[in-house]
Amino acid sequence: MKLSKKIIQHFYFPRLDNLDKEIGYKLIFHKIPDRYINGVISCEMTRTWQNFGLDIVKGKNHFTIGRVINSISTRFDADSSQYQSWLGGYTVKLASEKMITVEDHFKLAIADQNSWLKWYGDPNPLTTIDDFKAFKVGELVLGKYTGIMYEFGCRTHRVMWVLDIIN
């Protein structure tokens, strides 16, 4: 077994499992549309969101990208409807008991996208929700909690994408 695989199995995966326990929830995708890779990548977002000024104790991003066609993900194919898109969600543990607004959910995605742009070399990442309206696409029930699922989009320096959020 390669060393990198051992490191992931023994350090990274248990760390992500512990993060789920700290947050109090685990996000599981039951039906991923076939236009996306049928698998989910998870990563911790706590520091990214805290640096953006969000009232987060712990946070995690769960996502997948466009399916692979001709050896490349459609996320990187400018002619694909999945170009620069991702399918996923966030789990967070808030620092206070206050309810967060739909706009606060946007801030999670904006911080995430700005971080991604910066990681890819954009010296002044910019993500805006101007000219986009959230619209209700469904209701959710999670134990004693209920919520509304919204869809919204944003524009960045190089991409436009759509994201479903839960409030």
Give pLDDT tens digits for 14-55.
888 899 999 988 888 888 999 999 999 899 999 999 999 998
CA distance linking residue 2 with residue 68, whole number of Å: 25
In this structure, are 109 and 158 located in the same domain? yes
CA-to-CA dists, residue 118 to 60, 123, 128, angstroms: 19, 6, 15
| Comparison of pLDDT for 164 and 5, the residue scoring more | 5
Please say whether the beta carbons of 161 and 85 come within 8 A.
yes
What value does the mean pLDDT of the chain take?
82
What DSSP letter does each residue of 148-167 carry, written as one string?
A: EEEEEEEEESS-EEEEEEE-
Give pLDDT tens digits for 126-152.
888 888 787 888 887 777 777 777 777
Domain boundary pick from 41, 73, 96: 96
In this structure, are 118 and 65 located in the same domain? no
Burial of 110 (0-12, 13-18, 19+ CB in 10 A): buried
In this structure, are 164 and 104 located in the same domain? yes
What pLDDT does residue 160 have? 41
In this structure, are 145 and 128 located in the same domain? yes
- pLDDT (average), residues 103-117: 86
Domain boundary pick from 47, 80, 96: 96
Amino acid at 34: D
Confidence tier at 10 by pLDDT (50, 70, 90): low
* Tally of structural domains, the chain: 2
| Comparison of pLDDT for 130 and 60, the residue scoring more | 60
What pLDDT does residue 27 have? 86
In this structure, are 85 and 154 located in the same domain? no
Domain boundary pick from 44, 61, 96: 96
